[in-house]
Each structure stands twice: as C-alpha cells, then as structure tokens.
A and B are shown apart, each in its own frame.
Chain A
Amino acid sequence: MAARIGIFAVVVAVFLSIPAFSSAQDLQIVNAERRIDLSSHIVKDFLTLKVENIGISPAAEMLLAFSPTQIKNLAMVQALAITGKKKKKTYLPLDVKPAEQPDAPNDTGYYRVTFVSPLGPGETVSLEVLYILTNSLEPFPVEITQSESQLVYYHDSAVILSPYHVKQQTTFVKTPSTRVESFTSIEPANRAGKEIKYGPYENRASYSYAPVIIHFENNSPFAVVEELVREIEISHWGSLQITEHYRLTHGGARHKGVFSRVDYQSKRSVSGASSFNALLAVLPPRVNSVYYRDDIGNISTSHLRTGFRKSELEFEPRYPLFGGWRATFIIGYRVPLEDYLFEASDGRRYLNFTFGCPLVETIVNKLTIKVVLPEGSKDPYAILPFTVNQDLQVKYSYLDIVGRTVVVLQKDNVVPTHNVPFQVYYTFKPIYMLAEPFMLVSAFFFVFVASLAYVHIDLNIARK
C-alpha cells in the first residue's frame, strides 16, 4: 500500500514537472455554450464551459485558444469559476494571462486560465469566460451615403476553437436588429428574429474551425477615440484637476457624397441612421468646474447632471459625426482631494482613481494617463490589475522649482470594461507643502529689502 502510494506520488511528481502543453490532451470540454453579442461595435463573447479532467493527474490550468485575427483585436479576457447550484451560485475571479505555445497550429494565440484549486482526475469545473473584441465589425459596403443604413461583416467560427475535444457546443449570436443580409449556414443553424443559433454540434476534435460570415445591419454609434490623453493633477491644497484631450472619430462605414442638413433634420430616422451627434460621459459624483471646449473656444451644447453616485455629462460635438469624420475637444473638471487620495498603513500616500475613458460604449485606440504628483514626491509606483506601459516624466507648473514628477501610463485598445480602480503610490513629507508659500514670502521680502536699500543708500556726491 505504501509502495503504491509512493509510486503514485513519483508519477504525479514526474507528470507535474513536464511543461503545461503536454496536459492539453488531458482536459475535455463536456459542454460549451457561447453567446456573442453584436449589438454595439464592441463585440462581447460570453463562454460557459464545463471542463472535465480525463487525465490521470490534477490539472492546475487550462488554455483558451483564439484565431490570429481575434488575438490582435482582443481587448480583455476575464474568467470566473462557478461553484454552487441554482440560486446559491458564487463566482470567483480567475487569473488569466496570455500564453505562448511553441507548437501552436496556424498562429493560434492562447490565454492561460489558472483554476482556483487544481482539478483532480475525473472532476469537472464550470467556468464562465468573457472576452471582448474591438474593431471586429467590418463595414460592408465600405462607403455609404447619408440615406443608407450601415451593414457590417462579422467573421468567426461556428465551432469554438479550442485545444481540447469538445463534446457538445452551441453558439448564439445576437444582432441589434432583425435585418440580417446573410449568414453562413453550417448545419444545424437557424435564425429567429434577432438571434442566430449555430448548433448543437457534437464531438468536435481539438482545433476544429468552421469559418462563418454574418452580414447584418448595425446602426449603433461606432464611437472610436483615436487618442485620449488624461492628465490628473494632484494638489495637496485640496483638489484633483483632470484634463482630458480627445480625438474622436466615427469608426464605421465611411460617408460618401454630400451632407444635406435639410435631409438630416427633416428625416432624422432615415437620414444618417448610423451617425451620432451626442455622447455621454460618466464623471465622478462630486465634480465641479466642468468645462468642454476645443481649439475654437467653449462648446455650449452640453448638459451636466450631478448625482449621488455619479455625474453625467451629455455633450454634443459641433457637428454630427458620420463615417470617417473627426472631432477634437477637451473636457476638464475638478474633484475634491479626499475622495481619491488616501494614506496607506506604511505611511505612503496613494491615489485611487478609475482607469479608462469616461465615455460610455467607446473604444480608445491609444490611452495615455498622466498622474502629476506634487513637488517633493518621491518613489512613485503604480499598481494596475492589467499590463500597461509605465514611464516617468517631469512637468513644470505653478510655483515649481525642481518640477513635478509625472507617472505616465499608456495602454492600447481600451474598452469600458477597463474602467477599474488603480493606485499610484508615492511618499511625501507634509513639510514640503510649505515650499510654495515660502517662495511667495521670500518674493515679497525681496521687494521690502529692495525698498530698504533704496532708502538707506546715500548717492549724494557732496559730503553732508
């Protein structure tokens, strides 16, 4: 008995020391249900997987596979483990990281999901995976006139791409309207209203792929911010000043022909169906001194509603945005310091702020967040739940001698799901706050000393 346990332990130890890709054949997906939401230009995929360990040793992680085009457009992957049944379900977030596999067929990309506890042989676990794709809806026709509706292509696979054998799977695709020009039919596939159902498919081998193209109408606003620079200036005298520089475009089918303002205003439901003229920004609750301007000057078409939990700024650019049109503007506001600056237990101060873009349902191609720390701050350090590029700069502002340290965080392909809190830690000695009034005091004292010198100096040539 002890010898058998010993041999088993040695086999397990040998097996666990082999790199992860050899466990690809030891897991099996018993049931997979995928729901693809194509209602807006941000494609959201919800995958419910029931994974079974058919190997002989515990599996600590599993791989999610994505086609090469999807990996480029993937903005976020999240996974939750479901425990409990029916009403008592609990969801535990799992660690998801991009993974490199040396023997990937056809440039498949992978993400590795680590289970809460290693899955024993014969055990099953239920997972829910959410992944978000940007720039995945291809407008076709590429150019449309003002009176046409916007039709887009969506490329995907009817069969879920997976490095494991999938026993049973179904895919549901939800379109924003009932107008679907065409969709590739891979038996059994049918369409009912706004939903297309692919499946159920039985016993598909690993890495099976059945490309489908869905051509449908999508008139939701394709608001894409090409570049957003957010500057958060911390002042220990009591406020946080946030300035945001936007470069907004309409990322859908390009507009061709003339823009008729008469048609646009009289037949609004038909004319410019895919254009948008208003945007909503969600701002912090206790916000004041909000301004909305561009290079020309102030833009008055905006409404601010302050609230308890959040404030909403509904603003309109100077013109409606059609496909390919751009708008550049600046939004700035101020929030009280005590809502966002805290003291950690080890004496360091940290700023707790929300990452991402305040605009709802927009993609940001390139987001730069600059946190300007007050003069005299040392050891800046940022903590984020996902990877960003970090950098340090120096900014010279009011009453500065040595300049203020700026923590620059840069990320590409940002979606609203990235609006999570992040922290920037730094050390600051409160005595440095006196540097600014001391500078002003010494300036006034210099004036007095100059007047004293003028009164005391005797410039007479003749002796008195």
Chain B
Amino acid sequence: MAAKPIASPISVALYPTLSVFTLAIGLVITAIFFIYETTSSRKNRSLGKELATSAVASVFLGFGSLFLLLASGVYV
C-alpha cells in the first residue's frame, strides 16, 4: 500500500515571499481606509465603503501575519 504523503497546501518555500506581498497589500488598503476616514466629512461618509475596505484589509493583514509567523519558524 503506497501511502500518500501529506504536505502543506502551500509550499513552505513560498512563505517568506507570500508574507511580504500580502502584508504589503494589506498595509496599502489600510492606508486607503484611514485616508478615506480623515479626508471625508461626516455627511458624505459611506458606511458600506468603510466596512468593505476594512474587511479586505483585515483579510490581507490576517493572512500576511500568519505567513509571517510561519516564515519565522513559529509553525502555528
């Protein structure tokens, strides 16, 4: 019975590159979110836009920090 080896869904060698890129994109979208917050006035602020931007930013930041932890050796 040839056993099938199980490996990580993403190649381990990709972890550092992935962490850099996802964190960079996440930080850029965070910047967009905060710029929107500071430049818009109370009247023309749209909650939907804010929530959408923060959701996308948190997804990228969350995965980026996961890959950062994995790349630095803390295999969670």
Contacts and interface: CB of A to CB of B under 8 A. Distances in A.
A239 B75 contact: yes
A451 B37 contact: yes
Contacts of B73: 289, 334
A397 B76 CA distance: 8
B76 A338 contact: no
A174 to B, nearest CB: 41
Interface residues of A, number: 41
B8 A444 contact: no
Interface in A232-267: 233, 235-239, 241
Contacts of A233: 75
A285 B11 CA distance: 20
Contact of A345 (B1, B12, B47, B50): B1
A443 B62 contact: yes
Nearest to B40: A455
A235 B75 contact: yes
A70 B23 CA distance: 64
A296 interface: no
B39 to A, nearest CB: 12
Given A345-B1, A448-B57, A452-B54, A238 B62 contact: no
Contact of A341 (B5, B62, B75, B76): B5
B70 A237 contact: yes
A216 to B, nearest CB: 48
A342 interface: yes
B70 to A, nearest CB: 5
B24 to A, nearest CB: 15
Given A237-B76, A343-B4, A441 B9 contact: no
Interface in A427-457: 430, 433, 436-438, 440-445, 447-449, 451-452, 455-456
A238 B3 contact: no
Contacts of B62: 437-438, 440-445
B25 interface: no
A289 B74 CA distance: 12
B70 A399 contact: no
Contacts of B4: 342-343
Contact of B70 (A238, A444, A455): A238
B76 A436 contact: yes
A343 B1 CA distance: 11
Contact of A237 (B37, B47, B75): B75
A129 B1 CA distance: 30
Nearest to B30: A448
B48 to A, nearest CB: 12
Interface string A334-361: 1011110111110001001000000000
Contacts of A452: 37, 50-51, 54
Interface in B10-35: 12, 33-34
A433 B65 CA distance: 15
A441 B64 CA distance: 10
A386 interface: no
Contacts of B7: 238, 336-338
Contacts of B61: 440-441, 444
B74 A398 contact: yes
B13 to A, nearest CB: 10
Contacts of B59: 441
A441 B63 contact: yes
A451 B35 CA distance: 13
A238 B37 contact: no
Interface in A313-343: 334, 336-339, 341-343
A336 B47 CA distance: 46
A428 to B, nearest CB: 9
B5 to A, nearest CB: 4
A441 B76 contact: no
B63 to A, nearest CB: 5
A441 B37 contact: no
Contacts of A349: 6
Contacts of B65: 440, 444
Query: Which 4 pairs, one residue from A and one from B, show the smallest C-beta to C-beta distance?
Result: A441-B62, A448-B54, A238-B8, A444-B58
Given A238-B7, A449-B54, A452-B54, 12 more contacts: A237-B75, A289-B73, A336-B7, A336-B12, A337-B7, A337-B8, A338-B5, A342-B5, A343-B6, A444-B57, A444-B62, A444-B65
Interface of B: 1, 3-9, 12, 33-34, 37, 47, 50-51, 54-55, 57-59, 61-63, 65-66, 69-70, 73-76
17 contacts: A236-B6, A237-B12, A237-B76, A238-B7, A238-B70, A289-B73, A337-B8, A338-B6, A342-B3, A343-B5, A345-B1, A430-B9, A433-B9, A437-B66, A440-B61, A444-B61, A448-B33
